[in-house]
Structure 1
C-alpha cells in the first residue's frame, strides 16, 4: 500500500502542535489530527504508569516513514516515543490523491 496513518503520542500542551507543524512544514505529512485529553496507561520502568497525552494521527505515504521517525525522535521530549504506522488499505480516491499532492514541494493542494 502506498498510504499510511502514523500514530504518535505527546504530552498535554504545546508539544503536539509543535510536532504537527514540523511534520507539515517539512511536507512529511499531508494532515495531522490532534486528539487532546487522552488517558494513557502503560508499563514504564517496571511498573504501571499513567499520563494525560495528546494523540497525533498523521496521513502520509509509506515512503516517508523513516524520515518521520527520525524527525519526531529528534525533537520529541520522551526518551521512548510512540511512533507506529498502519497502512491505509482503501479510501476515497480524491482524498488519497490530495495526500500525494500535498506532499510534493512547491504544490498546494
Structure 2
C-alpha cells in the first residue's frame, strides 16, 4: 500500500458521516476528515438498481494505518456492507505529509 492514502466511505446522512469522521480522527486513525454532500448515488443493491442521496467522508492517513481504519469504519457504520476504499496520495507538500504521518503514528499533533 502507498505511504499515504485517502480513504472514503458514504453514509445516508450528514450526521452519520460526521460522526464517523469524528470517531476516526479522535482515534488518530486519520489526521483529518472531510464530509461532503449531499451527493446523488446510483448503485446496485440486492439485485436492484437504486438511487439515493448520500454524504461522503474522506480521510487522510498512512498506508500502514489503513487496515485499522477500515475495521473502525466497518464496525461503526450503520450499513452491513459500507463502501471503504482507498486511493494513493501520490504527492503533497512535505510539511503536510509529515503532519499526517506524525499525527497517526504517535497520536500527537
Structure 2: segments with no counterpart, 5+ residues: none
Q: Secondary structure at the match of 1:80?
A: coil
Query: Following the alignment from structure 1 to structure 2, what is the Cα–Cα distance between the partners of residues 7 and 75?
Result: 14
Aligned pairs for 1:1-109 within 5 A: 1-103=2-104, 104-105=106-107, 107-108=108-109
2:31 touches 2:103 (CA, 8 Å); kept in 1? yes
Q: Secondary structure at the match of 2:17?
A: helix
Q: Secondary structure at the match of 1:14?
A: helix
> Which stretches of structure 1, 4 residues or more, deviate above 6 A after TM superposition?
none
Deviates more, 1:96-105 or 1:60-69: 96-105
Query: Following the alignment from structure 1 to structure 2, what is the Cα–Cα distance between the partners of residues 13 and 58?
Result: 15
Query: Following the alignment from structure 2 to structure 1, what is the Cα–Cα distance between the partners of residues 30 and 55?
Result: 18
Query: Structure 1-normalised TM-score?
Result: 0.93
Query: Following the alignment from structure 1 to structure 2, what is the Cα–Cα distance between the partners of residues 51 and 82?
Result: 15
Query: Structure 2-normalised TM-score?
Result: 0.93
How far did residue 7 of structure 1 move?
1.1
Query: Following the alignment from structure 1 to structure 2, what is the Cα–Cα distance between the partners of residues 84 and 58?
Result: 10
How far did residue 13 of structure 1 move?
3.3
Q: Secondary structure at the match of 1:6?
A: strand
